[in-house]
Amino acid sequence: MKRIHHQSAAGTLLLSAGSAILLGIVTAEALYPAAYRTDENTISDLGGTRPPDSVVLMPSAAIFDATMVITGLMVVAAAYLIHRALARRATASATGLLGIGVLGVGLFPGHTAPHPLFAMLAFIAGGVAAIAASRPLVPPLRYVFAADGAIALAALAAGLFLLEWAPVAALGEGGIERWVAYPVVLWMVGFGAHLATATPEPHPETGPLHEAVVGRRALAAGRR
C-alpha cells in the first residue's frame, strides 16, 4: 500500500512541478517590465541577466526565482518517492539531480557566479532522466519520453557547439535554450501523469519475478 501512495505522490509532484514551471515562466515573461524577446533572452534572464551589466527586474525576478526554488524541492521529493516506489536507480538519481539543478537556478539567479553550473546540471540531468524513465515503459510513452530527452540533449549540444549554424542561429540563444528546457518540462508533466494514474509496477524485490526466483531456489534447496 505504501508503494501505491509513493508512486502516486511522486507523479503528482512531477506533474505539478512541470505545470508550475511552465506557468511561472509564462507569467514572469508577461510581467517583465522591459523589452524581452524569446530569441534573444534566455529563460534565466527573468531572474537576472548575466554580468557584467546585470539587470534584475521585479516582479519577474521574484516570480521566476520562487517558482524555481519551490519546484526544485518538489522534483527532489519526487525523485525520493520514485526510488521508494519503483527502485529505479537511474531514473531516481537523474530526477534528483534535475531537482537540485532547478533549485540552484532559483537560489542563484542568472547574475550570480554559480548559476551556469546549476543550469547545466538541470539541462543534462533532465534529458538523461527522460531517457532513463522511458526504458521500462511500453509504447507509445517509451518513444515519446525518449524523444523528449533526446531532443533536449541534442538541443543542448547544438546550443553549446553549433550556435553559429544557420538553423540554430535563427532560433537565437533564447530559442535554442527553450528547445532544451521545454521537452524536459513536457516529460515531467507526462511522466508525472503516468505515475499518478498507472497501476503500481512490481518492485524488483517483492514482485512476481522475485517470488519466482525465490521459489526456484527453495525447490532446488529441497532436492539437495
Please give the Cα distance from 47 to 59 (Å, whole number): 9
pTM: 0.86
63, three cell numbers: 516570480
Name the residue among 82, 64, 99 with its Cα closest to residue 192.
82
Please give the Cα distance from 82 to 96 (Å, whole number): 10
Please give the Cα distance from 42 to 110 (Å, whole number): 9
Domain extents in the chain: 2-223
Q: Write out pLDDT tens, residues 138-190.
A: 999 999 999 999 999 999 999 999 989 999 999 999 999 999 999 999 999 99
Q: Write out pLDDT tens, residues 100-153.
A: 999 999 999 999 999 999 999 999 999 999 999 999 999 999 999 999 999 999
Give Cα 140 distance to the centre of its chain.
20
